[in-house]
Amino acid sequence: MEFFNCHTHKFTDKPNVLELVNQYPQEFDPGIPYYSIGIHPWYIVEERLESDLEIIETKIQQKNCLAVGECGLDKRIEIPMDLQIKVFEKQLLLAQKYNKAVVIHCVAAFQEVIEIKKSLKISVPMIIHGFSKNQQLAKQLIDNGFYISFGKYLMSNPELRTVFQSIPNHRFFLETDTIDKTIEEVYALAAKYKNNTVEEIQKQLKENFLSVFKIAVQLI
């Protein structure tokens, strides 16, 4: 593995990239080598919640499932927050039960996510994907044990440079999500912002990957 893409909806099957591909319970592709699976808050269907959770519980027991998610909370959608919290908490408890990391979608609900982590005593790694906020919030997340993944907004918003530079090297990941950029391009920008070489970023993210996902990179 030369590059790790922490969250993507597009499987490219490049031999030098390990991609953590987002999957949904009702649209599962068994041909994806490494995946996360979860109920995104946008796509909660209350009538099939139990069956979706059963599918997730089955799939996360596979060795090539690296994480639960993306799941989380979003205050800018019409789905009631109490239902979103219920679905999010059930997925966190599954992640805790099977010792899987969690990829989190969070929009305007960071304090709620932090409090839920505390109240449920979640100890598995939790990764906030697609971070786009300020340095103060980033520090609060880091202080509460979260990892932060950057991609789409890092590529499009130069003001995130100082935020990204403030993140401890052992607590960040990189991703492409849905953008038409390669993970190599994201690594190149990250290296520039961190005043490192791409090779140094690769080495750091391999270490972060091993720490969070507990898979021997040399076997991939």
77-130 pLDDT, tens digit per residue, is 999 999 999 999 999 999 999 999 999 999 999 999 999 999 999 999 999 999
CB-CB contact of 54 with 45 (8 Å): no
Residue type for 158, please?
Answer: P
CATH architecture assignment, domain 3-219:
Alpha-Beta Barrel (3.20)
| Confidence at 218, pLDDT banded by 50, 70, 90 | low
Residues 6+ apart with CB under 8 A from 57: 94, 98
Cβ atoms 116, 90 nearer than 8 A: no
* β-bridge partners, 107: 74
Domain boundaries, the chain: 3-219
CB neighbourhood size of 96 (10 A): 16
Q: Which residues pair with 69 in a beta bridge?
A: 103
For residue 96, which amino acid is it? Q
- Has 29 been labeled as part of a binding site? no
**82 is known to lie in a ligand binding site:** no
CB within 8 Å of 86: residues ≥ 6 apart: none
Instruction: Encode pLDDT of 142-159 as tens digits.
Output: 999 999 999 999 999 999
Q: Is 129 annotated as a binding residue?
A: yes
101 to each of 77, 80, 196, 209, how far by Cα in Å? 25, 25, 27, 11
143 is in an annotated binding site: no
